[in-house]
Chains A and B, each alone.
Chain A
């Protein structure tokens, strides 16, 4: 996928989180055809790290997951920060017809997930900071005593 920094003329791309060929690709293409989009970018590697960086640079306007399970799995595994993507104005879409991301239920799910993650991140940072200080102190003391 195109993860280059945006240029003055570059338009924001639509990215499908799937290889360019196969059932997931067919599902996504059929879905995008309904929106008049025929040439999306493909994230064949499945590594959302590159896509996340492209979103943060403002290169992406829409991300299409072929199935709801793909999106939820990526969310639970924290392969991207939903809050950041939404703040960047990225439209997250699921190609599987049964799961519209525009439904109130789905939006409530994403809102709740964002809120829970924010609270979790605060706890992670505080606990990580405290335990890191203990670890650093322990390492410093061991080496100091080894004189």
Chain B
């Protein structure tokens, strides 16, 4: 339960930071966590507060348990028996599924190739994709699998811990106002995949690889494609996994993992 408390501290810190900035800007407080209306100069500080909130949760959780963060998180990255190769397996699996889907959607005119930027800007964006994918995947996996799910599994049955882990992961993507809310089932399916990957291996290599591979493809294709097919089928923007096909793909990949990594955790 300590893990859940630490996770809930993230939005709490974000809200406190936002409230302080709103007061400093002479604006009324609001319940919702949202940077809109904040003066431009405050946005950087608001982002810094968000990063501090994540760092506080990630570092505070092991410290509250009486362990150093390094000791706590190192156990999720075993290096014996070629375990790091699970990350490569994860990346390959994500890329394979997404590449074949984008191929199918391009051939059927559900996705169109269109460069959104000048060549220089495009190269700049694409160059930033691999480190961003790795960073996003690492932070989210540490937070939702190494901290939350592993923490929940210490006191709760897997049948309770897994749904909580999945819903918390999906819900976290909607703390701030977003353009699309219909993507929630897709985030739930993604949560099922990543939590299953952790449960099956009890390490972060596989979920990290799957997550990073997915972000890599989504961010890499984002400046190059435009969705023209129905969103219920193929999703939209960086959410191809939120359409019916994407959700089916996530569930199939989950079955793949169960078959590959030995069934029941």
Contacts and interface: CB of A to CB of B under 8 A. Distances in A.
Q: Do A and B come from one complex?
A: yes
A78 B227 CA distance: 10
B156 interface: no
Contacts of A106: none
Contacts of B62: none
Given A135-B104, A136-B248, A147-B260, A125 B97 contact: no
A129 B101 CA distance: 10
Contacts of A139: 93, 96-97, 100, 249, 252-253
Contact of B245 (A78, A127, A132, A142): A132
Contacts of A127: 108-109
A135 B229 contact: no
B51 interface: no
A142 B96 CA distance: 9
Contact of A131 (B96, B104, B249, B259): B104
B93 A124 contact: no
Give the dominant DSSP class at A's interface.
helix
Interface size class of A (residues with CB under 8 A): 20 to 34
A125 B229 contact: yes
Nearest to A129: B233
Contacts of B255: 140
Interface string B225-265: 00011100110000000000100110011011001100000
In this complex, the member of A125, A128, A146 whose beta carbon has the largest number of chain B beta carbons within 10 angstroms is A128
A99 B69 CA distance: 67
Contacts of B253: 139-140, 143
Interface residues of B, number: 27
Contact of B110 (A128, A138, A146, A147): A128
B260 A131 contact: no
Contacts of B109: 120, 124, 127-128
Contacts of B252: 136, 139-140
A84 interface: no
Contacts of A125: 110, 229-230, 233
Interface in A93-139: 120-121, 124-125, 127-129, 131-132, 134-136, 138-139
In this complex, the member of A127, A131, A138, A142 whose beta carbon has the largest number of chain B beta carbons within 10 angstroms is A131
Contacts of B96: 139, 142-143
B230 A138 contact: no
Given A78-B228, A125-B230, A128-B233, A146 B260 contact: yes
A67 interface: no
A143 B93 contact: yes
Interface string B71-94: 000000000000000000000010
Given A53-B179, A124-B109, A128-B233, 6 more contacts: A125-B110, A132-B104, A136-B248, A139-B249, A140-B255, A142-B96
Interface of B: 93, 96-97, 100-101, 103-105, 107-110, 179, 228-230, 233-234, 245, 248-249, 252-253, 255-256, 259-260
30 contacts: A121-B230, A124-B108, A124-B110, A124-B228, A125-B229, A125-B230, A127-B109, A128-B104, A128-B109, A128-B233, A128-B234, A128-B245, A131-B104, A131-B105, A132-B101, A135-B100, A135-B101, A135-B103, A135-B104, A136-B101, A136-B245, A136-B249, A140-B252, A140-B253, A140-B255, A143-B256, A143-B260, A144-B256, A144-B259, A147-B259
Interface of A: 53, 78, 120-121, 124-125, 127-129, 131-132, 134-136, 138-140, 142-144, 146-147
